[in-house]
Chain A
Amino acid sequence: MMDRVKAEKQKIFRSNMITFGIVIIAYIVVELMMQTGNISSLFKGLLVPLCTYSILAVSLNLVVGISGELSLGHAGFMCIGAFSSATWSMLMKSSGMPEGMRFFIAIVIGAVTAAFFGFLIGIPVLRLKGDYLAIVTLAFGEIIKNLVNALYFGVDANGPHFSLEDSMHLNMDGGTIIIKGAQGITGTPKNSNFTIGIILLLIVLFVVLNLINSRTGRAVMAIRDNRIAAESVGLNATKFKLLAFTISAAIAGIGGALYAHNLSSLQALPKNFGYNQSIMILVFVVMGGIGNIRGSVIAAVVLTLLPELLRGLSDYRMLIYAVVLIFMMLCTSAPSWIQYRDRIMMSFKLKSTDGKENK
């Protein structure tokens, strides 16, 4: 039987390699297109966002698919990652630190800060179950957006100054104001590019896929499938849920850092860091298949590209997302729909074998 166990492992390994392969091939193709100039500026502008959304979709899938909890506040973690990393880059802009080094640290800061908040909110929240978790994460995302929009932050010779009122309340003695409330941060260095986005995506995929197929990932999925049974074999449910949530927040923070360094001005709008963004990421996860990491990446890319490429569709973009969401859930979870779906699939299978026999 050991060989069957090994075959199973081979299958997982192959599947992971395909995932990496798809990303790398897509990268090479796009790079070639860029070399030969066969690429529109519209598409070029979408490359980094595509990486960002893919990273976020993988991050949310870790919570929704693997840990089995619904988070509606992932845009909040992205927001934290974006603002913390951009603040660092602004602070170090004129320090003479090599750009690569500065950006690397910015990404780490984005990940660590988001992870810290993920941990902080996770401790109390993960004790709650199901629906409550969804609403608390939603509340958390709104709080973050709200706070960031009210936050003023500057540095002068006396050190850092914070205010939630306005720039006057910073009591600055010269120096520079970095975060200007609703205006956000302007002048972030544009360090993000497609290559870095792809590298980050590959790293995230490596971590998440290996995590899932390890002792820790098994524990997280066991708790998802049956919390009481998992506790009865000695697993600490809260600990593992918290671990998955924190890692997911860190990944969302990386996505945020990538996003922030692709724009020269960063603002916390409902569109980019609000509830709508969290829902959009959720659509990617649902569309790609809950728990299917590769699917998340593909769905993020397809659903971002489609409305952009088919300009006429862009008005209907959110409408299509909504229909997709409902339709996917009914198809995968409603018993009556599943029966119907299987009947159709069966008839297709029968037809195709009929065809073979006729030949």
Chain B
Amino acid sequence: MYKKQLVRNDEVAKMMSFISYLLNGLSLGSVYAIIALGYTMVYGIAKMLNFAHGDILMVGGYTAFIAFNSLGLPIPVAILVSMVVCTLLGITIEKIAYKPLRQANSLSVLITAIGVSYLLQNLAQLIFSANPKSFSSFVPLKPVKLAGGQLTISGETIVTIVTCIIIVAGLVTFINKTKAGQAMLAVSEDKGAATLMGVDVNGTISLTFAIGSALAAIGGILLCSAYPTLTPTTGAMPGIKAFVAAVLGGIGSIPGAFVGGIILGVLENLAKAYISSKLSDAIVFSVLIIVLLVKPTGILGKKIMEKV
């Protein structure tokens, strides 16, 4: 009888640790999703991969760090400052580096975006040095203990998942219900036609970059709250993975970015826990390659046909 109880306890513990990995995965996935939204919106509207998006996230992290730790601003203000800085940065980058290349081929735009990404990373390194800063969490919530203390859910996990759901719901409403959102849809369908219909294409593209960058700031703060080391390359890997998430879900699709982000985050955490911690990145990237081979447009992407 006692032995049986022990086996059951063991099973419960296994179950609890699985749930905990799953929740961590959902949390990480939510961060990926928030970042992926920026990638996907920009791709949908400007038809370009903004490689520097992950680095805007890093800038968001540093800004929040300075605002909170050095300037001693309250958390909501620090978040706001970080969002404003990232928004301005995003719009500036678009104006200076991407806008002149709107008619150029995609190779040139992609290389430029890589250049911008590098520029931000190296500027950050010059200003803040490569030494990691320890980021104090922006989430004041205490961990929640469930199942008699066997399952602990951190405040960051809860806040991240909830924030992500609010953002996705908000964005979908924004695009479907507001005039600016409809303008975005129009520009993503056909720039020329949108111009003829009186849509301010340049303004819409700027707005897209602004929203994407503000989201990156939130993503950066959430990421750094959960994984509290901040370096100039903090944004690089999550940026690439969020990009993978966007492609996985179907680039250009907002629900796709959400689905892709969640799948990727869960997959990464489960792979780390149950297969190999060293190979989790390889597994994540292999999934991307496989998905693209089976369905090149991603899970929720639309098929685009070239007109001959």
Listed in ascending order, the chain A residues whose CB lies under 8 Å from chain B are 64, 68, 70, 72, 121, 124-125, 127-128, 130-132, 134-136, 138-140, 142-143, 146-147, 149-150, 164-165, 228, 275, 279, 282, 286, 290, 315-316, 318-319, 321-326, 329-330, 332-337
List the A side residues contacting B115 at CB < 8 Å: 322-326, 329
Task: State whether the Cβ of B17 lies closer than 8 Å to any Cβ in chain A.
Answer: no
Bound together, the chains give a CA A279 to CA B111 distance in angstroms of: 9
Task: Give A231 Cβ to nearest chain B Cβ, in Å.
Answer: 10
Contact partner of B126 among A121, A315, A323, A330, CB < 8 A? A315
List the A side residues contacting B109 at CB < 8 Å: 329, 333
Mask of B225-252 contacts with A, CB within 8 angstroms, 1/0: 0000000000010001001100100000
For this complex, 26 residue pairs linking A to B, each with C-beta atoms less than 8 Å apart, are A64-B107, A68-B107, A121-B289, A127-B296, A130-B107, A131-B106, A132-B247, A132-B292, A134-B49, A135-B244, A135-B288, A140-B289, A142-B281, A147-B279, A275-B236, A282-B111, A318-B122, A322-B118, A322-B122, A323-B119, A325-B114, A326-B97, A329-B108, A330-B112, A332-B108, A334-B104
Given known A-B contacts A130-B106, A131-B106, A337 and B114 have beta carbons under 8 A apart: no
Chain B 44-61 interface residues, beta-carbon cutoff 8 Å to A = 49
Task: Give B16 Cβ to nearest chain A Cβ, in Å.
Answer: 26
Please state if A147 and B282 are interface contacts (CB–CB under 8 Å). yes
Task: State whether the Cβ of B6 lies closer than 8 Å to any Cβ in chain A.
Answer: no
Contact partner of B247 among A135, A142, A228, A335, CB < 8 A? A135
Please state if B292 and A136 are interface contacts (CB–CB under 8 Å). yes
List 4 other contacts, CB 8 Å, given A143-B285, A318-B121. Answer: A70-B111, A132-B247, A322-B116, A333-B101
Task: State whether the Cβ of B278 lies closer than 8 Å to any Cβ in chain A.
Answer: yes
List the A side residues contacting B75 at CB < 8 Å: none
Please state if B106 and A146 are interface contacts (CB–CB under 8 Å). no
Bound together, the chains give a CA A68 to CA B247 distance in angstroms of: 21
Given known A-B contacts A70-B111, A330-B100, A330-B112, A318 and B279 have beta carbons under 8 A apart: no
Please state if B282 and A143 are interface contacts (CB–CB under 8 Å). yes
Contact partner of A319 among B101, B126, B278, B293, CB < 8 A? B126
Contact partner of A326 among B119, B236, B244, B279, CB < 8 A? B119
Please state if A279 and B118 are interface contacts (CB–CB under 8 Å). yes
List the B side residues contacting A128 at CB < 8 Å: 292, 296
List the B side residues contacting A323 at CB < 8 Å: 115, 119
Mask of B77-118 contacts with A, CB within 8 angstroms, 1/0: 000000000000000000001001101111111111011111
Bound together, the chains give a CA A322 to CA B278 distance in angstroms of: 31
Bound together, the chains give a CA A68 to CA B123 distance in angstroms of: 30
Task: State whether the Cβ of B308 lies closer than 8 Å to any Cβ in chain A.
Answer: yes
Closest A residue to B111 by CB, please name it: A329
Bound together, the chains give a CA A140 to CA B284 distance in angstroms of: 11
Given known A-B contacts A139-B288, A325-B112, A164 and B278 have beta carbons under 8 A apart: yes
Please state if A135 and B108 are interface contacts (CB–CB under 8 Å). no
Number of interface residues of B (CB under 8 A): 44
List the A side residues contacting B134 at CB < 8 Å: none
Chain B 263-308 interface residues, beta-carbon cutoff 8 Å to A = 276, 278-279, 281-282, 285-286, 288-289, 292-293, 296, 306, 308
Given known A-B contacts A136-B292, A150-B276, A282 and B114 have beta carbons under 8 A apart: yes
Please state if A146 and B282 are interface contacts (CB–CB under 8 Å). yes
**Binding site secondary structure of chain A:** helix
Please state if B292 and A164 are interface contacts (CB–CB under 8 Å). no
Please state if A335 and B110 are interface contacts (CB–CB under 8 Å). no
List the B side residues contacting A135 at CB < 8 Å: 49, 243-244, 247, 288
Closest B residue to A65 by CB, please name it: B107
Task: Give A340 Cβ to nearest chain B Cβ, in Å.
Answer: 10
Please state if B112 and A329 are interface contacts (CB–CB under 8 Å). yes
Task: Give A27 Cβ to nearest chain B Cβ, in Å.
Answer: 31
Please state if A146 and B306 are interface contacts (CB–CB under 8 Å). no
Bound together, the chains give a CA A330 to CA B126 distance in angstroms of: 24
Closest A residue to B246 by CB, please name it: A135
Please state if B100 and A337 are interface contacts (CB–CB under 8 Å). yes
Bound together, the chains give a CA A72 to CA B111 distance in angstroms of: 10
Bound together, the chains give a CA A143 to CA B117 distance in angstroms of: 21
Closest B residue to A181 by CB, please name it: B278
Contact partner of B101 among A134, A228, A330, CB < 8 A? A330
Bound together, the chains give a CA A50 to CA B145 distance in angstroms of: 58
Bound together, the chains give a CA A303 to CA B100 distance in angstroms of: 26
Please state if A279 and B281 are interface contacts (CB–CB under 8 Å). no
Please state if A228 and B306 are interface contacts (CB–CB under 8 Å). yes
List the A side residues contacting B117 at CB < 8 Å: 322
Task: Give A38 Cβ to nearest chain B Cβ, in Å.
Answer: 34
Closest B residue to A137 by CB, please name it: B289
Given known A-B contacts A70-B111, A130-B106, A164-B278, A139 and B289 have beta carbons under 8 A apart: yes
Please state if A325 and B289 are interface contacts (CB–CB under 8 Å). no
Given known A-B contacts A143-B282, A164-B278, A325 and B110 have beta carbons under 8 A apart: no
Bound together, the chains give a CA A160 to CA B282 distance in angstroms of: 23
Closest A residue to B106 by CB, please name it: A130
Given known A-B contacts A136-B289, A142-B285, A326 and B100 have beta carbons under 8 A apart: no
Bound together, the chains give a CA A146 to CA B240 distance in angstroms of: 15
Bound together, the chains give a CA A338 to CA B158 distance in angstroms of: 51
Task: Give B42 Cβ to nearest chain A Cβ, in Å.
Answer: 12
List the A side residues contacting B288 at CB < 8 Å: 135-136, 139
Contact partner of B118 among A70, A164, A321, A329, CB < 8 A? A321
Please state if B285 and A228 are interface contacts (CB–CB under 8 Å). no
Please state if B110 and A134 are interface contacts (CB–CB under 8 Å). yes
Bound together, the chains give a CA A132 to CA B28 distance in angstroms of: 24
Closest A residue to B282 by CB, please name it: A146
List the A side residues contacting B112 at CB < 8 Å: 325-326, 329-330
Bound together, the chains give a CA A24 to CA B18 distance in angstroms of: 63
Bound together, the chains give a CA A72 to CA B240 distance in angstroms of: 12
Q: Give 5 nearest A-B pairs by CB, closest first.
A: A325-B115, A334-B100, A322-B118, A333-B108, A139-B285
Task: Give A96 Cβ to nearest chain B Cβ, in Å.
Answer: 37
Please state if B111 and A286 are interface contacts (CB–CB under 8 Å). yes
List the A side residues contacting B293 at CB < 8 Å: 124
Contact partner of B119 among A70, A319, A334, CB < 8 A? A319
